[in-house]
A and B are shown apart, each in its own frame.
Chain A
């Protein structure tokens, strides 16, 4: 497998075949929490894409140059990554606030939410640590591969949550029986979407 092909497979695999929300069921809390409106879900996705790429990159460095050589990674990776992600989110919030007030308004309130988002931790862990992801390709990520992988994961998150929000906006005004209204219907919708995404399995031999 040559290099460009590997990047492509990593990206598509993370985006569709192993979609973090609909196939692997990680970060379901935000999937149901901030999908009331397409607008808010777009803001959340932007923030996730941004934070996930940064967090994975920094986590990869921390893992490969600090945790792994010292031999403490096996039991310390979760607190270490959480520490990294939490401070990174704080840092990014400050930078965005200074650099681009418009962008801050668009995703400002969602940034703190992401601090403890499991999808970010999952992507960071999988990017750095061996043996979590069962992707059907040779597995030991280099730095650029980690970035590509985390971008794939976060865009998969964006695709899933924006589509879900669009459907929810429609079903909110649809005449459904009272006992299905709200979350029950949302869960059924999510299940059906998940089934549809399962159809991607086997794409490009992944």
Chain B
């Protein structure tokens, strides 16, 4: 078999030449188009949780790191990271954190849900609250209650939410970073962020009148105002047929929880373990 050596030579020359030329071009380009990246951005990106939850308002953790370095955002901007990470970031930046905010945790304002409230119809569709909501506002008799299709469970970037046996989501406060992704994900808007130190919460979101609620849910807020009367600090008020706690005034005494006839005000005894 004859091998045309000139062809082999040309082939080697072409590939070698093109490769060399492109290599030199790339080498020069990497010098000319070199972009200075602040080494602090990389460091801070490494410190942040990396869940890209978006609670800080920046596109992902890297975006937040850039904003922190450029001074657009304070070192405490990462809601999910909390004090510890804010401290590390401040160390990198060489600044001190002055304000100390109480970390927030998510709380499900519903104590009834599917376990308690009767159904209007059998929903046999996609396991997604958003979808379930579209069919006549959900299959529950209560138009405020938890639909229990785990949309919040799926949304949590930190895996802090689980579905409990009573068909209500359980939020693990050890895992919860207070980023608020679930608050936005819930079509019923029944998840809210509460201070970590608070121990008394309202587990109902219904704006229905007392009588209407009583017919469909045993643990709904009937707006009887018993809590308002018993509270010594004016921390709990009934507005729009629902009790609302002002966490700035609440002292966690738990009297309202004792007095509540439908037991929709819940006092957690130990911090970090919740419904």
Contacts and interface: CB of A to CB of B under 8 A. Distances in A.
Interface of A: 62, 66-67, 70-72, 75-76, 79-80, 83-84, 87, 90-91, 94-95, 97-99, 173, 175
Interface string B176-218: 0000000000000000000000000000000000000000000
Contacts, number: 54
A175 B127 CA distance: 10
30 contacts: A66-B14, A70-B13, A70-B14, A71-B7, A72-B7, A72-B10, A72-B11, A75-B11, A76-B11, A76-B14, A76-B15, A80-B14, A83-B15, A83-B18, A83-B19, A84-B18, A87-B22, A87-B23, A87-B25, A90-B26, A94-B26, A94-B33, A95-B33, A97-B35, A98-B34, A98-B35, A173-B126, A173-B131, A175-B126, A175-B131
A169 to B, nearest CB: 14
Nearest to B63: A105
B125 interface: yes
Contacts of B22: 83-84, 87
Query: Do most interface residues of chain A lie in helix, strand or loop, or is the interface mixed?
Result: helix
Contact of A62 (B10, B11, B18, B34): B18
B29 interface: yes
B146 to A, nearest CB: 20
Given A72-B7, A97-B35, A79 B15 contact: yes
A175 B35 CA distance: 48
Chain B's interface size range is 20 to 34
Contacts of B35: 97-98
Given A67-B14, A70-B10, A173-B126, 6 more contacts: A83-B15, A83-B18, A84-B22, A94-B33, A173-B128, A175-B125
Contacts of B131: 173, 175
B30 interface: yes
